[in-house]
Amino acid sequence: MAKSRWQRFLNTVQISADYSEKPAGLQWRSNTVFIVATVAVGLFTDLFLYGLVVPILPYMLEDRVGLPPDRIQSNVSGLLAAYAGASVVSSPIAGILADRLPSRQAPFLLSLLALLGATIMLFLGTTLPVLIVSRMLQGVSAAFVWTIGLALCLETVGPENLGKTIGSIFSFISVGSLCSPPLGGVLYAKAGYTGVFSIGFAVLAIDFIMRLLVIEKKVASKYEAEDPSSVSDLNTTPSQQDGTADEERGNDEQQPLLGGKQEDDAAYKISENQPWIVRIVPIIPCLGDPRLLTAFLVAFIQALLLGNFDATIPTVAKEFFNFDSLRSGILFIPLGVSDLLLGPLFGWCVDRYGTKPVGVFSYTFLVPVLFLLRLPHPGGRDQILLFGGLLALCGIGLAGIGAPSLVEAGAIMQKYYKVNPDFFGENGPYAQLYGFNSMVFGAGLTLGPELAGELKQVIGYGNMNLVLAAICAVTAGLCFVYIGGKPRIFTKKT
């Protein structure tokens, strides 16, 4: 009896894998809502802590490290680059490791420990190398939490519900990226470093408890099964949910005798004769798919635009309206509110109407709005309202470009996995997929501020937005051609 209680305790804290004793709270801990909420809180924590320290980095470098004023800007940029660079390098590694490990929870939890270590180093660090290492640790943590979190979402809700799930998550985490910079500035002004990092540690504590409690659906199903070893690690993929497999079999029976379904499957078949590197990173043969490459491009341009706004809104607010840091932060509110309110709606549209209409509409919508950002100029209240209104319109476009990329990439890899089930292993290719997606996003987030800064300096803010509008127009065209499959006008009639 005592042994049974001890085993139940070990299972409850997810230390043991004896499926004869169910852990406490198994039902609600493996509930879809709780799993998605845990992922959302994890992503929120990453963005919240990232933004919380950004406004105080210059003061840390001046007060603690003792750098002269002429070296502050370059080292702030270096600390931001350290975060993004570590995230870019770590993302594919996170995907490979996550797909090879039997559970998503262990690396998901370890990434939080890395974030905790990074936060402690930032809180106590008094030298530049310590601050650099802390930012790199933060980037590594971000790579793992985004890669594993998105893969866990896909396995939990399936591609058919991924759009509205991602839209809702992005709306929630946008609050973190929206509120954390001005909050960090206010806390630093009122309570110093202790006030800033106290709220950071409180958010970390909530995140840690939720990650510790969450139980993946594939793990929960093993407690219910008579033979736990017979439960597939991907038993929550959509081909096995809600009768989808039966529907697919029915669809197969309705295919014409000449091609159709079999030709589609042949397009996703991967040859067994692959170099050694493919055995380590089996997603590599899929990277030649133009639809997958376009999905990655959509994510890259999204990050590029976000990096552009992060880099230019504060400087434009100062140059045009003589705003201080706090009032410059307020200008991010109309940008974020649109994303907060419309993200779930666009996600639902992706699930209902597909990735192509939402992707094409969102990037096309951004073209005239970015062009109109040439209009604001130095002035008073009317110019401030014009600039804020255009930023709100930009937020509408940004709200619609997140879900299509992730949903499209997940749907494509689902097809590759279905046609080549043994090629990717038991865990499938999903963590690797989102690892590459995180790498591409990190690259866009790194390049965005640099590109925006150079263009703004060389050709001016208005012409910079004209270049971004042209980039969005090209991206909208690529979405029309590739995202969601080729349109009918490009398909040969037989």
**What's the alpha-carbon Rg for the chain, to the nearest Å?**
24
Residue 71 has pLDDT above 60, yes or no: yes
How confident is residue 7, by pLDDT bands cut at 50, 70 and 90?
A: low
As a whole number of angstroms, the distance between CA 32 and CA 30 comes to 6
Contact 32, 164 (CB under 8 A): no
- pLDDT tens digits, one per residue of 130-166: 988 998 898 888 888 888 888 888 778 876 777 778 7
How confident is residue 254, by pLDDT bands cut at 50, 70 and 90?
A: very low
42, 324, 451, 484 from 169: Cα distances, Å: 10, 31, 28, 22
As a whole number of angstroms, the distance between CA 208 and CA 291 comes to 37
Residue 228's pLDDT is: 52
Q: What percent of the chain has pLDDT over 70?
A: 82
279-494: CATH topology: Growth Hormone; Chain: A; (1.20.1250)
3-state secondary structure of 376: coil
What rounded mean pLDDT belongs to the chain?
A: 78
What does the block give as tokens for 352?
A: 């209902």
- pLDDT tens digits, one per residue of 105-127: 778 888 888 889 988 988 888 88
What does the block give as tokens for 412?
A: 């494509």
Residue 326's pLDDT is: 64
32-46, 47-61, 299-313: least confident range: 47-61
As a whole number of angstroms, the distance between CA 466 and CA 106 comes to 46
DSSP character string of 101-154: SS-SHHHHHHHHHHHHHHHHHHHH--SHHHHHHHHHHHHHHHHHHHHHHHHHHH
Q: Which amino acid is at 179?
A: C
**The CATH number, out of the four listed (2.60.40.10, 3.20.20.70, 3.40.50.720, 1.20.1250.20), of the domain defined by the range 19-218:** 1.20.1250.20
What does the block give as tokens for 409?
A: 């990439």
Taking the CB of residue 189, how many other CB atoms lie within 10 A of it? 14
Task: Name the packing angle between helices 162-213 and 32-53 (round to 10°).
Answer: 80
- pLDDT tens digits, one per residue of 463-476: 889 999 999 999 99
User: Residue 219 half-sphere exposure, CB side, CA atoms within 13 Å?
Assistant: 27
Residue 371's pLDDT is: 92
What does the block give as tokens for 477?
A: 């065209």
- pLDDT tens digits, one per residue of 190-206: 888 888 889 989 999 99
- Domain map of the chain by residue range? 19-218, 279-494
Higher pLDDT, 7 or 171: 171
Query: Which sign, positive or negative, has the C-alpha torsion 121, 124, 130, 136?
Result: positive
Do the two domains 19-218 and 279-494 of this chain adopt the same fold?
A: yes
Helices marked H in 322-429 — which ranges? Answer: 325-330, 332-353, 355-372, 381-400, 403-419
Residue 492's pLDDT is: 54
What does the block give as tokens for 469?
A: 């509008």
Contact 234, 155 (CB under 8 A): yes
The CA-based angle 234-236-241, given to 5 degrees, is 130
